[in-house]
Structure 1
Amino acid sequence: MTAHAPVQPGGLSMARLARQPACWIVVALLVAGGLRIAQIGGRFAAVFPLATLTATALFALLAVPFWLFVTELDFLEREPTALLVVALAWGGLVATAVSIPAGAALEDIVAKVISPGFAAGWGAALTGPTVEEIAKTLGVVAIVLIARSQINSVLDGIVYGAIVGLGFQIVEDIVFALGAVAVAGRTDDVQPVVATFLLRGFLSGVWSHTLFGALAGAGIGYLVVGTDRSRPARLGVALLAVFGAWCAHVLWNAPIFGDGLGNGAAGLLAVLLFKGLPPLLLILLLVRRAHDREADYYTAHLARLRDPGLITPGELAVLRSGGQRTAARRHARFRYGRRGSRAVRRLQRAQARLAVELSRAARRPTVAEPGGGAVWRWRAEVRAQRAVLSGLGMPEAVAPRTGRDARVRRAWAVVTVALAIVVVWAALTALDGS
């Protein structure tokens, strides 16, 4: 892993993308995948209109918090929305359209080569991950081919991989939910849709395709940016990451503990933790390391300014940590309402953009930008948001770690965790009852 985060030379140019053959190949694949998924969805909608609408709405709503969380990971140097949409569409349209027939065909081969019994037990665990992880990883490769300059850290690969996985997860879950309606043999009934949503979406989503895609994406990101290592070494790490995603997916699909660990909700929860927790912890560790490296690189440029009007020592520490950024916004909201929280968020965003522009300027010190350039524009924006905070009586965008406000924040955190546990347990109990 590189000691520094390489800096992209500039923003995303749509005109430059349009001149690349790879861009049009990706567009053609997205169109073809979209037509295929529309065919599948159209057949379901004709037979089960209410179930189709319910499944689409539920899983689309589930995608929103995942999207917000994943895109927030790379707070300092955010990815262009257009490329994130391409990644989401690749997962939902291309990867899904390829995986459905390819997975079925590969499972038939396993049944003929080994035995139908083996295919019935282990077919989905081996064929699904093999086809799906390759198809999803190619989505991150497509992003590299059309916008190489936007992949400037391992964290970027993680973000794009997770978004590809999210697109795949949402569309596949919709198909599974409608398949459950068909298997139930009922008319246009939403009960199988809700059950599928609780199991595959609400309970399993956090350690499913989004997680597998993030792990593979980390490998592709390292392949691109790890220029301090030889190409074979980088390729080996990338293949190892994709293999790790495949192994996690195999474990997830494997019929191990198919009947649960014991009876009731506790047994189902134990299976989810056993299969999903190890890869989740691994990817969280990778995200933490990649985030810290990128944060150290960018905030070092802000630290050299030595200007508390632009960023204070306390705000430097806050900008390096996602948890501290969130705590600062919550503190401002408790003390000064929505206006305070909004001002802190805008100040943090302006400081992050200033850090990125400073790093770009450091790479091209001889290039003079007209009108003062982006550095000066973001300096002005930081000072404008600083003035808003000062007007509210908040000297800097930090959250105190002691005192009444800190105790209130900790109490709310405990309440939130307790509420989440209650909701998860209710979902497990509902599934056990059904």
Structure 2
Amino acid sequence: MSLTPPPPADPYGHLNPAGPPSGDPAFSHRTAGRARSGLGAGAAIVVLIAVAGLVALLVAGYLAVSLGVSVVAVGTLVALVPLGIVLFAIRWIDRWEPEPRWALWLAFLWGAAVSVAIALIVDLGVQLFAAFASPDGASTDEALQAVVQAPIVEEVAKGAGVLLIYLLARSHFDGPVDGLVYGATVAAGFAFTENILYFGVALIEGGAGELGTTFIVRGLFSPFAHVLFTACTGVAIGFAARRGRGAGVMAWFLVGLGAAILLHAFWNGSLAFADAFALYFTVQVPIFIAAIVVTVLLRREEQRMTRARLSEYADAGWFNRDEVEGLSTWPGRRAALAWARAQHPPRTAQVQRFIADATRLAFTRNIIATGRADVRRHADERALLEAVTRDRAAISA
């Protein structure tokens, strides 16, 4: 779709209102098709969230029966600390172009309930198989479970959730940062439930002292372990989303999943067979620092892309240069929000919506400009152009 300049309108402050796009005889047909597709995906999402919620109740019941209600309550309170640390980091990563709340809830519930349930069922199956297959009823080797079984089963279960979100919400899965956010959220949910289990077992077996040691190891030294693993899968799917669709997505998914499994196995193996304390500072910490550097670079790339795409709209008359500066830089956004808070009445919500819609527009335009758009993306662009027009009108009212 060409970028048609809007009709002129009276500016207010540093914001320049733009009019709606010109008519398109095919637009109504495209929008109707997108609406039907969106309804189908929306229904599937509602069903998945409901199923994940039900599984969460079953997992909670399993923990209560296995550990006791009081122990689960204590474990949950302690597990909220590393969860809060991880969620704060995810929020920081997701600030530029926030993902929808429903998608993040689905990701968290998938990790906290569905992925955990899959891991528990597989573990039970392996234990039963070993008991029947071994003549003396010996159990499976714990080290083998930690280095082989756990990485494969857990990363497949978590990665499947990230892949499902991509398939159901492609319009909100634009690149590697989105994949990182979804993968990290799934992993945060999984680690939260797993921590409840570990903290509960530690409390039962060794009391408060053992619980404190376990909390330091899992809650303070390695709260981002699962995030780091599953982020590999999410980032890989994000690169696939940026490059195209079809079979290539599955190839990228398998590459990311393989990296997640290997990193998970290496982590567990270092705890089982090596000096975990020394290896943590010589290997794990540098890996974590490298992950932070990559995350910062990916976020900066998103900001550069936002500026470049909004500049294209500015060339066509949809934005002025001050708006591009205010929408594509952190200082510009802070200045716009400060201006909104100073108004009477404050217009913070309207300006936040304008920033969000303009950022979504830039991401959508990037997909169109790089030749990866389908009919729905063109309809999204038209809808977002109309949205930023309404946002301006609301701000200037």
TM-score (normalised: structure 1): 0.65
Larger RCO, structure (CA 8 Å, separation 6 or more): 2
Distance 1:383 1:275 in 2: 54
Letter in 2 for 1:52: V
Distance 1:150 1:367 in 2: 13
Judge conservation of contact 1:222–1:238 (CA < 8 Å) in 2.
Answer: no
What does residue range 8-407 of structure 1 map to in structure 2 within 5 Å? 16-17=38-39, 22-23=44-45, 26-27=48-49, 29-43=51-65, 47=68, 49=70, 51-106=71-126, 119-184=141-206, 189-206=207-224, 208-227=225-244, 231=246, 233-255=248-270, 258=273, 260=275, 268=277, 270-277=278-285, 279-281=287-289, 283-284=291-292, 286-304=294-312, 305=314, 307=320, 309-312=322-325, 318-319=329-330, 350-357=354-361, 364=378, 373-379=386-392
Q: Deviations over 1:165-197 (max 9, x none)?
A: 00000010101111122223xxxx544333322
Q: Deviations over 1:282-323 (max 9, x none)?
A: 5445534543443222222333537354354xx57734xxxx
SS in 2 for 1:205: coil
Judge conservation of contact 1:248–1:279 (CA < 8 Å) in 2.
Answer: no
Cα 1:175–1:317 shift into 2, 3 Å = same
Report the alpha carbon displacement of residue 99 of structure 1 after superposing the two structures with TM: 0.6
Distance 2:39 2:269 in 1: 41
Letter in 1 for 2:109: A
Q: Deviations over 1:127-167 (max 9, x none)?
A: 11111000001111221233232212222111111100000
Letter in 2 for 1:375: V
Identity %: 23
Report the alpha carbon displacement of residue 93 of structure 1 after superposing the two structures with TM: 0.4
For structure 2, the 5+ residue unaligned runs are 1-30, 369-376
Distance 1:350 1:67 in 2: 25
Distance 1:366 1:133 in 2: 33
Judge conservation of contact 1:107–1:119 (CA < 8 Å) in 2.
Answer: no
- Aligned CA-pair RMSD: 4.4
SS in 2 for 1:75: coil
Distance 2:363 2:239 in 1: 20
SS in 2 for 1:254: helix
Judge conservation of contact 1:154–1:218 (CA < 8 Å) in 2.
Answer: yes
Count the aligned residue pairs: 344
Distance 1:256 1:171 in 2: 20
Judge conservation of contact 2:177–2:238 (CA < 8 Å) in 1.
Answer: yes
Distance 1:212 1:69 in 2: 15
Report the alpha carbon displacement of residue 117 of structure 1 after superposing the two structures with TM: 9.7
Report the alpha carbon displacement of residue 274 of structure 1 after superposing the two structures with TM: 3.8
Alignment correspondent of 1:6:
none
Report the alpha carbon displacement of residue 81 of structure 1 after superposing the two structures with TM: 0.3
Cα 1:355–1:156 shift into 2, 3 Å = closer
SS in 1 for 2:91: helix
Cα 1:225–1:98 shift into 2, 3 Å = same
Cα 1:381–1:190 shift into 2, 3 Å = farther
Distance 2:380 2:260 in 1: 44
SS in 2 for 1:79: coil
Cα 1:366–1:243 shift into 2, 3 Å = closer
TM-score (normalised: structure 2): 0.70
Cα 1:198–1:325 shift into 2, 3 Å = farther
